[in-house]
Amino acid sequence: MATRTRSLRAIRRRKGAEPGAVVESASAPQSEQAPVDISPGDPLLAYLESAGGPVDLDSLELESPAKEELRSAGVQVVVPLVSQGELIGLLNLGPRLSEQEYSADDRKLLDTLAGQAAPAVRVAQLVREQEAEARERERVEQELKVATLIQQQFLPRELPDLPAWHIAAFYRPAREVGGDFYDFIELPEGKLGIVVGDVTDKGVPAALVMAMTQSLLGAEAPRLVSPSEVMERVNDLLVADMPPKMFVTCLYAVLDPSSGKLQYANAGHNVPYVATDDAVVEFRATGMPLGLLPGMKYEEKEGVLGPGDTILLHSDGLAEAHNGDREMFGFPRLMKHMEHRSTGEAVIDDLLKELDAFTGRDWEQEDDITLVTLQRSRHAPLFAEVLGARSSASSSQDGSPEKDRTLAEFEVASRPGNERTAMARITEAVEELDIPSARLERLKTAVAEATMNAIEHGNNNQADIPVGISAVVEGNDLVIRVTDQGGEKALAEVEQPDLEAKLAGEQKARGWGLFLIKNMVDEMNVDSDATLHTIELKFHLKGDGHGS
């Protein structure tokens, strides 16, 4: 590229000239010349790179648009600036003020000047490039900070708490900010909207499109509910504001937790996999990505997640990962993995372990990875029957509720230590009741003991069999119910602990936990049938026992 033409007046005394005589080596127009753009394919560049000194444009026989443009700008002599064999600029000179031709000494001086100026010009260019790169890095870093903040604000802070369902999610961007997103939307009638999507870009533009898409879904889903109608509406709203060459793939599903029915529509996103007792099946539906064309229609399908079924919603970051031999992890491998029938958290953990083994330690993540799993408890209908029976029993004779309300309803896996989880969640749920601290400690102890008994005795520490726990205010009482699957087993009778009898081997420790529970609560009831076993813990909120 050509340098700007500036006035140049170099003076030196000629050998043998009279004192005071000077020779003007060059003079350019007083106003700055506009930069001349020389295309990479212009033959003038190749000529100047090998010229080895000043070039007189008037005598240069070369078909070159750049040469003609330089001559039109008043340039007569061009001196190539070459550094380490690379042409880095041009020193352009117009006619001498004396209107004499450039002499051999002039050209020698210009050649010497070019040899000294070229390294300095190159250093200046490098400094400018480094400054520009530093500014660009700063801009990118700031952009990433903004995009990260936007993305963090829109990713769910916690997962939904659905009775008889296990929900797990994992998200890992390939860079500081990714294009993947997922969300859960509360819908009328206790239904749950589930969103998994991918924006075809990164950085602030992708973060803004992601935020816009999630905001539209969150606004339209509760109003329309139907997945196909939601997709159609969001697509039409996105089209007008979608940046060029960008679009959003998205899967939107509506879950009815009580029946397991799942309605869904797919806007060009990856197909969900559902693991059942018999096979792994795909929930397919057709539709164009969001934001491409207005007026798109989206196919709506419906499936049922039965007891024990697990569904995996995912982006393409895992399936399209490559190992060192450029072999792809692949969707068949991902689908095959779903046959293991693990719990939701275990599905994700196992997939990530298999990915690490496949790609190796030095793998650089190529795309964002998003995994969302929903697993319906294998015993969900049984728990639903129990909860329904409790709800009916707590209603008045005319069928109207007596100000009863559920504070918490959840499950924990039958693993040692999960009694602490149950205790913590119940403690959080009853916080609004302002239970005196001493009674609250007794409540926590009773819940932990009852859950531990259910895990160990009722479910035999089988992690895939959950313990159901609920906290309900019934009139003036707080009722905690802990349900396991050991209904066919005879529950040990509550014995008065006798240390001497224990040391003599006449009394076993089994049953001491029930004794402790009974003495921690105002009332304890046990209900068993052929399948389920429930311990009911009752605490008076008013009247006898309250505050003692």
CATH of residue 492's domain is 3.30.565.10
- Cα-flanking dihedrals φ and ψ of residue 476, to 5°? -100, 15
Would you call 273 helix, strand, or coil by DSSP? strand
| Domain extent for 289 | 155-376
pLDDT in tens, 337-347: 888 766 667 88
Domain stops at, among 112, 127, 142:
127
Please indicate, yes or no, whether residues 123 and 194 belong to a single structural domain of this protein: no
Please indicate, yes or no, whether residues 187 and 250 belong to a single structural domain of this protein: yes
pLDDT in tens, 252-273: 999 999 889 999 999 999 999 9
Please indicate, yes or no, whether residues 89 and 164 belong to a single structural domain of this protein: no
Domain stops at, among 376, 405, 424:
376
Please indicate, yes or no, whether residues 177 and 251 belong to a single structural domain of this protein: yes
Q: Domain for residue 133, yes or no?
A: no
Q: Is 58 in contact with 75 (CB distance < 8 Å)? A: no
Please indicate, yes or no, whether residues 392 and 352 belong to a single structural domain of this protein: no
Here the CATH number for the domain that contains residue 41 is 3.30.450
Q: Domain for residue 397, yes or no?
A: yes
Please indicate, yes or no, whether residues 326 and 393 belong to a single structural domain of this protein: no
Q: What is the pTM (predicted TM-score) of this model?
A: 0.56
Mean pLDDT computed over every residue of the chain: 80
pLDDT in tens, 13-43: 233 333 332 223 333 444 455 667 778 888 8
Please indicate, yes or no, whether residues 429 and 532 belong to a single structural domain of this protein: yes
Order of all β-strands in the sheet with 405-413: 405-413, 466-474, 477-484, 533-540, 523-528
pLDDT for residue 333 is more than 80: yes
**Pairing verdict, β 466-474 and 405-413:** antiparallel
Q: Domain for residue 20, yes or no?
A: yes
> How large is the average pLDDT for residues 512-520?
76
pLDDT in tens, 361-401: 778 777 888 999 999 887 655 555 555 554 454 444 444 44
Here the CATH number for the domain that contains residue 303 is 3.60.40.10
Query: How far apart, in whole angstroms, are the C-alpha atoms of residue 369 and residue 413?
Result: 26
Percent of the residues in the chain that have a pLDDT greater than 90, as a whole number? 28
Q: Domain for residue 522, yes or no?
A: yes
**pLDDT band per the 50, 70, 90 thresholds, residue 282:** very high
pLDDT in tens, 435-483: 998 899 999 999 999 999 899 888 888 877 888 899 999 988 999 999 9
Please indicate, yes or no, whether residues 495 and 366 belong to a single structural domain of this protein: no
Domain stops at, among 330, 357, 376:
376
Q: Domain for residue 365, yes or no?
A: yes
**Pairing verdict, β 86-93 and 466-474:** unpaired
**pLDDT band per the 50, 70, 90 thresholds, residue 175:** low
Range among 111-115, 153-157, 332-336 with highest mean pLDDT value: 332-336
Chain centroid offset of residue 114 CA: 55
- Cα-flanking dihedrals φ and ψ of residue 162, to 5°? -110, 125
Which pLDDT score is estimated for 29? 44
Which pLDDT score is estimated for 21? 28
Which pLDDT score is estimated for 89? 83
Q: Is 515 in contact with 497 (CB distance < 8 Å)? A: yes
Q: Is 182 in contact with 241 (CB distance < 8 Å)? A: no
Query: How far apart, in whole angstroms, are the C-alpha atoms of residue 113 and residue 7?
Result: 15
330 by Cβ neighbours in 10 Å (0-12 / 13-18 / 19+) ranks as middle
Query: How far apart, in whole angstroms, are the C-alpha atoms of residue 309 and residue 255?
Result: 13
DSSP track, 113-135 = HHHHHHHHHHHHHHHHHHHHHHH
**pLDDT band per the 50, 70, 90 thresholds, residue 104:** confident
Q: Domain for residue 168, yes or no?
A: yes
pLDDT in tens, 91-100: 888 888 887 8
Please indicate, yes or no, whether residues 270 and 233 belong to a single structural domain of this protein: yes
Please indicate, yes or no, whether residues 217 and 335 belong to a single structural domain of this protein: yes
Q: Domain for residue 140, yes or no?
A: no
> How large is the average pLDDT for residues 218-234?
94
Buried-state track 14-42, b at ≥16 Cβ within 10 A, e below 16? eeeeeeeeebebbbbeeeebeebebeeeb
Q: Domain for residue 138, yes or no?
A: no
Which pLDDT score is estimated for 395? 45
HEC string of 466-519? EEEEEEEEECCEEEEEEEECCCCCCCCCCCCCCHHHHHCCCCCCCCHHHHHHHH
Query: How far apart, in whole angstroms, are the C-alpha atoms of residue 74 and residue 92?
Result: 9
In the chain, how many domains are there?
Answer: 3
Please indicate, yes or no, whether residues 189 and 68 belong to a single structural domain of this protein: no
**pLDDT band per the 50, 70, 90 thresholds, residue 495:** low
The secondary structure of residue 328, as a DSSP letter, is: B
Kindly report which listed range (41-50, 59-68, 302-311, 375-384) carries the lowest average pLDDT score.
Answer: 375-384
Query: How far apart, in whole angstroms, are the C-alpha atoms of residue 255 and residue 273?
Result: 15
Which pLDDT score is estimated for 314? 94
Please indicate, yes or no, whether residues 393 and 358 belong to a single structural domain of this protein: no
Q: What does each C-alpha distance from 209 to 43, 202, 372 come to in angstroms? A: 46, 10, 21
Query: How far apart, in whole angstroms, are the C-alpha atoms of residue 211 and residue 151?
Result: 7
Q: Which amino acid is at 58?
A: D
Percent of the residues in the chain that have a pLDDT greater than 70, as a whole number? 80
